[in-house]
Structure 1
Amino acid sequence: MLVQEIMTVPARFARPQDSAASAAEQMKSLGIGVLPVVEAEGIVGILTDRDLVLTLAGENQQLERLPVAAVMTAGAVCCRTCDSIETAAALMGDHQVRRLPVLDGDGNLAGLLSVTDIAVHASERLAGEALGEIAEYR
């Protein structure tokens, strides 16, 4: 089974210049915890609900004044639409992430793959193994 068969589409995303508040509102309204951050050249980072919370807890700033670029985690571990689910699960475990942006053949954002997608649509066993590695203390 390939990633493209079970990934979530369309992938929601933010741009580095967007306000962190608008990204947070998008995440809240969609009930999601992560947004890939995209520029013309591709994915430049990941914004998680954890990034937003830690920014608010660590600094006395309002999200309206902060661009996504100031809050996001730079870089992103990604998989491809043509990767196998096993390959994607191994990436999740190796990098201890629960979600992967999925890139098409041109390197553009095509979707998002979560451990839940793997459990529901492919293999609970494989998802459990990935979660075990994700939660492992390193």
Structure 2
Amino acid sequence: MRTMLRAAAVGAAVTGLSLVPGAAQATPGGPGVTGTVLAQWSEAGRDYVLREITIPPGQATGWHYHDGTLYAYVRQGTLSHFDATCASDGVYKKGSFLKEPAGADHVHIGQNRGADNVVLEVLYVLPHGAPFSEDAPDPGCELP
């Protein structure tokens, strides 16, 4: 199974698969936002973690960034995604993929503006030992 997950992760990265939450929200994420680790391994100084993230209706991830690249697949619902200027950088419906680049210059928030849970399958490709995300202050802009 580990070999299959590695192959899936490499295949996703190679094909460009971009996997994976009113007013601006400060970090951390809203009530009920959960993450479950489905698989993880380390190789060549990187941690690969496959997680399922659930964002209830009306909730958000909180402002954050990642030390590595994330690839997300929207398994259920619609994710509205905004950058640190509060500009929309995508609305991702069920069956869509997104990629979140690494670095503090890529602060973002994901929101669930729908009536059903957003469920994401997210592959994190992180420097070994890095957290899933780094909290970022609310930039103070108003989300559309």
TM-score class, shorter-chain normalisation, is: under 0.3
Bigger radius of gyration: 1
The structure that is helix-richer by fraction is 1
Higher relative contact order, structure no. (Cα contacts within 8 Å, ≥ 6 residues apart): 2
Q: TM-score, normalization: structure 1?
A: 0.26
The structure that is strand-richer by fraction is 2
